[in-house]
């Protein structure tokens, strides 16, 4: 399904769940896997020193240091690497989000797998902007290929993906996400749950909304899902369901996924109005995807563009 996976990792325990999913997928689908690590942010003007993204210390990225980092990654993922026929380690120096994107482009990756760093990790001001959240946001926004994020232990994945939730806001980007959800469902012979949440926060004050008004909109959204997605499913339709809820989209998506015991959520990033360079304090309350990433109990795959969607294998 995904010929080449770039697994972007800090090498820290934060990425363990993502590692498990990435290597498991590579094994299951026979994918080539590139374990990619960006070790440091260039610092100090034109000097050769970089600031190690994990320790915050100034380091010299000479061959010896790079080999040390490689060795550490080899040790961290020793078991997975030994079980994986087609795996290699690549490291780079630069801004993490940029380097992950660069690697994905260079490798012509079909999928990027990332962990999401837990909130509350103590880091200096300089890094907070570049690494925490920002890395993920920038990669998810700009990548041409799908980005799979695993922020929590994904126990259900041991059985493979089978229960897939596709959450849509009917945007153009969601079209690409739908195609991806369709391909995956077909490929894993799973079930597909088409879901939309009527965003009450973005409508006029809920007090002013009558119950009839809400129900009317729900019915309209159901019809829209039917026309825009379900009608295009073909033979997959018999394994699909449609659901429309109202509330705050990220909460409802996570709740719905939990209720359906989903083991994968597919959605678009679609945050044109959010500037990834804004500091955390200036940011509007996180985008739906970001909140789903943080909260979902299963992996989440996002895609905005049609460029690198996997071809479903023969049904």
Which residues of the shown chain bind other proteins in the complex (CB under 8 A)? 42-49, 60, 62-64, 94-95, 98, 101-102, 105, 124-126, 142, 144, 169-172, 174, 196-199, 202, 221, 249, 270, 272, 275, 277, 279, 304-305
Q: Which is nearer to other proteins, 71 or 278 (CB)?
A: 278
Beta carbons of 148 and 24 less than 8 angstroms apart:
no
Q: Which is nearer to other proteins, 19 or 100 (CB)?
A: 100
Nearest to 266 by CA among 224, 226, 229, 315: 229
Beta carbons of 253 and 197 less than 8 angstroms apart:
yes
Q: What distance in Å separates the CA atoms of residue 222 and residue 195, rounded to the nearest whole number?
A: 9
Residue 143: what are its φ and ψ, rounded to 5°?
Answer: -60, 145
CB 267, min distance to other proteins, A:
11
Q: Which residue has the tokens 């050769």?
A: 48
Q: Which is nearer to other proteins, 221 or 236 (CB)?
A: 221
Q: Which residue has the tokens 């034109």?
A: 46
CB 46, min distance to other proteins, A:
3
Q: Which is nearer to other proteins, 128 or 152 (CB)?
A: 128
CB 264, min distance to other proteins, A:
21
Q: Which is nearer to other proteins, 72 or 169 (CB)?
A: 169
Q: Which is nearer to other proteins, 25 or 198 (CB)?
A: 198
CB 147, min distance to other proteins, A:
14
CB 247, min distance to other proteins, A:
11
Nearest to 180 by CA among 267, 299, 65, 71: 267
CB 155, min distance to other proteins, A:
31
Q: Which is nearer to other proteins, 136 or 196 (CB)?
A: 196
Beta carbons of 146 and 114 less than 8 angstroms apart:
no
Query: What is the three-class DSSP state of 108?
Result: coil
Q: Which is nearer to other proteins, 126 or 285 (CB)?
A: 126
CB 212, min distance to other proteins, A:
18
CB 63, min distance to other proteins, A:
6
């Amino acid at each position: 399904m995904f010929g080449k996976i770039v697994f972007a990792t800090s090498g820290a325990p934060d990425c363990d769940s993502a590692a498990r999913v990435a290597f498991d997928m590579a094994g299951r689908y026979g994918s080539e896997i590139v374990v990619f690590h960006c070790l440091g942010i260039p610092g100090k003007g034109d000097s050769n020193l970089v600031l190690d993204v994990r320790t915050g210390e100034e380091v010299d990225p000479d061959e010896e240091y790079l080999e040390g980092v490689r060795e550490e990654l080899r040790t961290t993922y020793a078991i997975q690497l030994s079980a994986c026929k087609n795996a290699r380690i690549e490291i780079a120096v630069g801004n993490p989000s940029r380097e992950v994107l660069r690697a994905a482009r260079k490798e012509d990756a079909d999928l990027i797998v990332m962990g999401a760093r837990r909130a509350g990790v103590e880091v200096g001001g300089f890094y907070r902007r570049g690494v925490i959240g920002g890395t993920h946001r920038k990669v998810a926004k700009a990548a041409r290929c799908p980005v799979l994020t695993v922020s929590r232990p994904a126990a259900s994945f041991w059985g493979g993906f089978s229960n897939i939730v596709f959450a849509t806001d009917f945007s153009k980007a969601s079209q690409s996400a739908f195609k991806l959800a369709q391909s995956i469902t077909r490929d894993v012979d799973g079930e597909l749950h088409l879901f939309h949440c009527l965003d009450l926060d973005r409508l006029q004050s809920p007090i002013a909304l009558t119950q009839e008004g809400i129900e009317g909109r729900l019915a309209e959204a159901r019809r829209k899902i039917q026309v825009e997605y379900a009608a295009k499913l073909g033979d997959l339709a018999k394994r699909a369901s449609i659901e429309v809820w109202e509330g705050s989209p990220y909460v409802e998506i996570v709740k719905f996924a939990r209720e359906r015991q989903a083991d994968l959520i597919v959605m678009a990033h679609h945050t044109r109005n959010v500037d990834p360079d804004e500091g955390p304090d200036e940011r509007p309350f996180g985008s739906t995807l970001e909140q789903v990433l943080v909260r979902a109990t299963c992996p989440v795959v996002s895609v905005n563009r049609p460029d690198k969607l996997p071809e479903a294998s023969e049904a």
